[in-house]
């Protein structure tokens, strides 16, 4: 048992060390969510009353008119609307949106949507996530598929990046 506990601590330390390069350039934005645009985009109002459009990192939710898009938006609203959140971010996308991980209390909202089966883990951008987040998001999607939960209950869910084409 002692060896298992030590191995667990070593693994945790290694994952933390692998995450450090990503955390080095990270910024934090805190405020209240005033609008949920869709399943993976919201508007946050900061303490200076400045609105920031935020794209949730590491996930891709169904597009409007795509099955499960309404449920994904509802879930993001349940998790974040009119609540104080923190966004850990380090980039903007081509639309100038902040791309980040939304945290409410101790909940990773992005990860919750993956666990609920309401989005895809966006493997295309996995290298922008910490090693820990990559592992958590991949595992959450695998479990949602196996259950099957949310969009994974459909026989052939179409990923949004294919739908957009």
For the chain, the C-alpha Rg in angstroms (whole number) is 16
> Is residue 86 situated within a structural domain?
yes
Q: Between the CA atoms of 80, 124, 70 and 152, what dihedral angle is there, to the nearest 10 degrees?
A: -110
CA–CA separation, 19 vs 24, rounded Å? 9
Confidence bin at 2 (pLDDT 50/70/90): very low
Residue 68's pLDDT is 98
> Is residue 7 situated within a structural domain?
no
Active site residues: 55, 63, 97
Rounded to an integer, what is the distance from CA 140 to the centroid of its chain? 11
Residue 21's pLDDT is 47
For 110-118, what is the mean pLDDT? Answer: 98
The percentage of residues in the chain with a pLDDT greater than 70, rounded to a whole number, is 85
Give the residue among 150, 145, 165 at the shortest CA–CA distance from 39.
150
pLDDT, tens digit, 9 for 90 and up, residues 41-60:
999 999 999 999 999 999 99
For 69-86, what is the mean pLDDT? Answer: 98
Residue 165's pLDDT is 87
> Is residue 140 situated within a structural domain?
yes
How many independent structural domains does the chain possess?
Answer: 1
> Is residue 50 situated within a structural domain?
yes
Residue 23: pLDDT over 80: no
Residue 117: pLDDT over 60: yes
The whole domain housing 148 covers 17-163
Confidence bin at 3 (pLDDT 50/70/90): very low
Confidence bin at 26 (pLDDT 50/70/90): confident
Joined tokens for residue 34: 């005033």
Q: 33-66 burial string, b = 16+ CB within 10 Å, else e?
A: beebebbbbbbbeeeeeeebbbbbbbbbbbbeeb
Joined tokens for residue 130: 């910490």
- CATH code for the domain of 55: 2.40.50.90
> Is residue 11 situated within a structural domain?
no
CA–CA separation, 80 vs 109, rounded Å? 8
> Is residue 23 situated within a structural domain?
yes
> Is residue 4 situated within a structural domain?
no
Confidence bin at 89 (pLDDT 50/70/90): very high
> Is residue 5 situated within a structural domain?
no
């Amino acid at each position: 048992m002692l060896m298992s506990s030590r191995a667990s601590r070593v693994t945790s330390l290694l994952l933390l060390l692998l995450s450090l390069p990503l955390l080095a350039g990270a910024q934090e934005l805190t405020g209240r969510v005033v609008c949920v645009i869709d399943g993976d985009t919201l508007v946050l109002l900061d303490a200076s009353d400045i609105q920031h459009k935020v794209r949730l990192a590491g996930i891709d939710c169904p597009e409007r008119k795509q099955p499960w898009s309404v449920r994904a938006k509802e879930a993001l609203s349940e998790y974040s609307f009119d609540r104080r959140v923190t966004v850990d971010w380090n980039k903007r996308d081509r639309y100038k949106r902040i791309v980040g991980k939304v945290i409410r209390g101790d909940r990773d909202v992005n990860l919750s949507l993956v666990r609920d089966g309401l989005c895809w883990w966006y493997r295309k951008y996995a290298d922008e996530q910490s090693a820990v987040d990559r592992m958590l998001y991949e595992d959450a999607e695998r479990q949602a598929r196996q259950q099957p939960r949310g969009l994974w209950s459909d026989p052939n869910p179409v990923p949004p990046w294919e739908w957009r084409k």
